[in-house]
């Protein structure tokens, strides 16, 4: 009547209105039979006079369909939505082809066709371990399904197969526990077992939730060679597939963006030009590692300094001519390795077997069983010394190990048995092949080769005839020319071979400042050390040749007189005894050494020290503007002063440890922060030189801005999450199975 009364006669309109009024009256009085009759009369009136106003069949059908679609879309968008799994990235939890229902109401109500969520987290919050469907952040037309591993505020460290989580407000990481389970890995979409190396693990999250993941491939096939640190920002989550090596997830997502690169603003070449240092290593701090903001970058350079505490040195004597036991004793005395013990006792010095597991301890003790004698330095020494003697092979070794390389005695035992293990496999190996450093540290290698014995050492034997035996009938001269090992050790080993030492031998300074004489029943012996010419001589003259001390002294004086010639010319070493001293005695052929008996490997550990470091931070087009970013970075400095040298509105600060600069480059909307420690920048001039070089290079954006850089994009925005996957309903074997 409201819409079409003009098309009906006034008389009929009055009848219809009267009928409606009568119906209202009868309804109030609950006169149901009369009400039914009156309603039928009204229906007849409408049918006869107002049929033209009824909806057509097509319109009514369209409206019904529209309402049905609207209800379905609303329910699908706000309550439950079916999905079909397209790949095996969530194996073994979900297989390719599975049909699942996603609860879209559990995290709030999402307005259809938008990323806006109302009543967010009213019924539940996203938790670690949830399996969620979300719009792929790099292409929101695609839907992905993964497991939540990090929630807002979490910091994750992913190291190969190990995952550590530090929740917001906590100081320590907690490892996500896992244990291997004895179940076969199946090929996706098949009952066939995977032929490759594949392991299933039952993983337990921080809140105790359990689920199963799998890894295909050996331990060496890690996602990254270095641990990754990821800080989950607010309103984002981090996700991973249960098929860890076969999932395109947060650890793999990369986006092509415009990005700034700090390394290009300040390079190693710049540091070589402007500082006294030459050997630098770079480091990416945590605030830049896996950084999701391509406008920010941070790099640290460390000048690598040789550190005695991080260094090691191995000396090896193979069947030394002065005797292995004698060299061992002399060496232990000189390096103050005074404590005798076994490898097992060395491990036990740290208490509780040095924290080793039984298998490692037994292996070390077994390898160390070939050590005849072992002496180590006393406790408290910053540099640990160990000297040991391998009886059957007549080999003596000395290991000098800094406190960083060998912080404990059990670590020293590991170093020793590491050398022994290599030696047992191949006794011909050089010292540089026996001593191994840590893979995590850079070393400078200083190797002193064995080299050819000829020219460095001679051992001459003379006797009256080939059948003459005994020391009385022996004239022996051993000459070391420029020996690299300690002259004092050689001297004491030689004296020990005659059952003496410098406390009981006779000093003979008339020959050299460091000369000693010992007389035995069989011969006269001399050790002659010429420190200035780096020469050492051992002379043994049998009493059938040197009848008395006077003739022995004369022979020693003749040898000393030839030292200058021998120093210049290796061939002169063999002519240090002339015919007057040899007489008619004959030289006896000896088995000559091809290689010298001694060599040394020194691994100088390069330690990174904060005192020799420079930090560079760069922010491109900051969201809060140049001035606000400069102010924020300035607040981190100690006693900053305004300084417009490198940019208007910049700041400079000096403290006991460093020089610091913060300044904008307005032309390119860049903020730069430089921290140079005083070990690397000893004065303000050198620090300003670095800042000036950086500011100059920042004027050209091609130096440090990449328009098509690839950067990690690891996080899913909260608004992209469509819901939680809850049930599998196909195939029949997994009908209505709850997703764990």
Catalytic site positions: 89, 146
DSSP states of 560-618: HHTHHHHHH-GGGGGGSS-HHHHTT-EEPP----SB-SEEEEEEEEEEEEEEEEEEEEE
* Cα 542-547-550 angle, rounded to 5 deg: 105
Cβ partners under 8 Å of residue 20, min gap 6: 42
Q: Beta 80-84 vs 155-159: how paired, if at all?
A: unpaired
Structural Rg of the chain based on CA atoms: 44
d(CA 156, CA 231): 6
Beta bridge partners of 163: 158
Instruction: Identify the helix (H) or strand (E) that includes residue 310.
Output: strand 296-318
What 8-state DSSP symbol labels residue 246?
G
Helix, strand, or coil (residue 257): strand
- CA separation (Å) from 513 to 71, 378, 528, 529? 108, 32, 9, 7
Q: State the maximum Cα–Cα separation within the chain, in Å, rounded to a whole number.
A: 166
Q: Beta 514-519 vs 523-530: how paired, if at all?
A: antiparallel
Q: Return left, alpha or beta for 518; rule: phi > 0 is left, psi -120 to 50 is alpha, else beta.
A: beta
Q: Is the Cβ–Cβ distance between 336 and 385 less than 8 Å?
A: yes
d(CA 447, CA 432): 7
- The beta-strand segments (E) located in 107-265 are 109-110, 117-118, 131-135, 143-150, 155-159, 162-166, 174-175, 177-181, 198-204, 210-216, 228-231, 236-240, 254-260
What 8-state DSSP symbol labels residue 686?
H
Q: Is the Cβ–Cβ distance between 341 and 622 less than 8 Å?
A: no
> Residues 586-590: contacts with CB within 8 Å, 24+ apart?
586/462, 586/463, 586/464, 586/465, 586/466, 587/460, 587/461, 587/462, 588/461, 588/462, 588/463, 588/466, 590/459, 590/461
Q: Is the Cβ–Cβ distance between 720 and 141 less than 8 Å?
A: no
């Amino acid at each position: 009547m409201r819409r079409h009364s003009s098309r009906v006669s006034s008389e009929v309109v009055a009848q219809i209105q009267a009928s409606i009024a009568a119906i209202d009256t009868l309804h109030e009085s609950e006169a149901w039979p009369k009400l039914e009759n009156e309603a039928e009369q009204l229906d007849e009136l409408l049918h006869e006079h107002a049929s033209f106003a009824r909806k057509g069949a097509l319109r009514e059908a369209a409206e019904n369909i529209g309402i049905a679609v609207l209800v379905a879309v609303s329910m699908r968008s706000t309550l439950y939505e079916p999905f079909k799994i397209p790949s095996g990235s969530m194996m073994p939890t979900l297989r390719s082809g599975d049909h699942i229902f996603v609860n879209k109401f559990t995290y709030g109500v999402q307005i259809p066709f938008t990323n806006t969520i109302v009543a967010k987290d009213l019924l539940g919050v996203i938790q670690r371990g949830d399996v969620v469907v979300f719009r792929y952040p790099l292409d929101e037309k695609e839907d992905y399904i993964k497991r939540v591993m990090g929630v807002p505020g979490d910091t994750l460290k992913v190291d190969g197969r190990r995952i550590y989580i530090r929740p917001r407000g906590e100081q320590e990481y907690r490892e996500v526990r896992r244990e291997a389970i004895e179940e076969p890995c199946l090929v996706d979409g098949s009952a066939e077992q995977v032929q490759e190396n594949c392991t299933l693990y039952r993983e337990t999250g921080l809140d105790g939730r359990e689920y199963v993941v799998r890894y295909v491939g050996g331990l060496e096939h890690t996602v990254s060679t270095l641990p990754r640190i990821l800080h989950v920002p607010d309103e984002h989550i981090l996700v991973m597939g249960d098929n860890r090596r076969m999932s395109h997830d947060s650890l793999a997502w990369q986006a092509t963006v415009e990005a700034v690169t700090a390394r290009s603003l300040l390079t190693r070449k710049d540091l070589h030009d402007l500082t006294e240092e030459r050997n630098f290593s770079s480091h990416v701090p945590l605030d830049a590692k896996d950084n999701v903001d391509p406008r920010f970058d941070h790099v640290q350079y460390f000048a690598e300094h040789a550190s005695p505490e991080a260094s090691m040195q191995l000396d090896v004597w193979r069947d030394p001519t002065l005797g292995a036991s004698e060299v061992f004793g002399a060496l232990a005395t000189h390096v103050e390795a005074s404590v005798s013990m076994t490898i097992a006792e060395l491990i036990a010095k740290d208490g509780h077997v040095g924290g080793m597991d039984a298998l490692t301890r037994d292996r070390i003790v077994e390898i160390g069983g070939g050590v005849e004698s072992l002496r180590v330095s006393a406790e408290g020494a910053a540099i640990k010394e160990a000297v040991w003697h391998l009886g059957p092979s007549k080999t003596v070794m000395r290991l000098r190990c800094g406190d960083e390389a060998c912080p404990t005695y059990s670590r020293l035992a590991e170093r020793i048995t590491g050398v022994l293990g290599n030696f047992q496999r191949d006794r011909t190996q050089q010292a540089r092949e026996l001593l191994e450093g840590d893979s995590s540290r850079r070393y400078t290698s200083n190797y002193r080769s064995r080299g050819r014995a000829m020219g460095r050492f001679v051992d001459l034997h003379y006797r009256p005839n080939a059948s003459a035996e005994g020391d009385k009938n022996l004239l022996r001269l051993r000459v070391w020319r420029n020996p690299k090992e300690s002259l004092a050790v050689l001297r004491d080993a030689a004296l020990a071979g005659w059952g003496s030492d410098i406390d009981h031998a006779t000093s003979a300074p008339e020959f050299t400042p460091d000369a000693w004489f010992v007389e035995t029943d069989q011969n006269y012996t001399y050790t002659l050390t010429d420190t200035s010419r780096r020469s050492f001589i051992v002379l043994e003259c049998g009493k059938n040749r040197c009848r008395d001390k006077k003739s022995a002294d004369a022979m020693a004086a003749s040898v000393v007189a030839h030292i200058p010639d021998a120093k210049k010319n290796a061939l002169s070493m063999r002519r240090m005894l002339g015919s007057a001293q040899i007489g008619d005695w004959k030289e006896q052929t000896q088995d000559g050494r091809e290689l010298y008996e001694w060599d040394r490997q020194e691994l100088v550990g390069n330690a990174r020290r904060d005192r020799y470091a420079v930090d560079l931070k760069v922010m491109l087009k900051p969201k809060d503007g140049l001035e606000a970013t400069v102010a924020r970075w300035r607040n981190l400095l100690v006693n900053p002063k305004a300084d417009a040298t490198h940019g208007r509105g910049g700041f400079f600060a000096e403290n006991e440890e460093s020089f610091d600069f913060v300044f904008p480059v307005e032309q390119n909307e860049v903020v730069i922060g430089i921290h140079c420690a005083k070990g690397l920048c000893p004065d303000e001039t050198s620090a300003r030189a670095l800042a000036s070089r950086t500011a100059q290079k920042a004027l050209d954006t091609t130096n440090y801005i990449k328009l098509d850089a690839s950067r990690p994009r690891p996080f899913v925005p909260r608004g992209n999450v469509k819901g939680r996957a809850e049930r599998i309903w196909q195939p029949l074997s997994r009908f209505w199975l709850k997703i764990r």
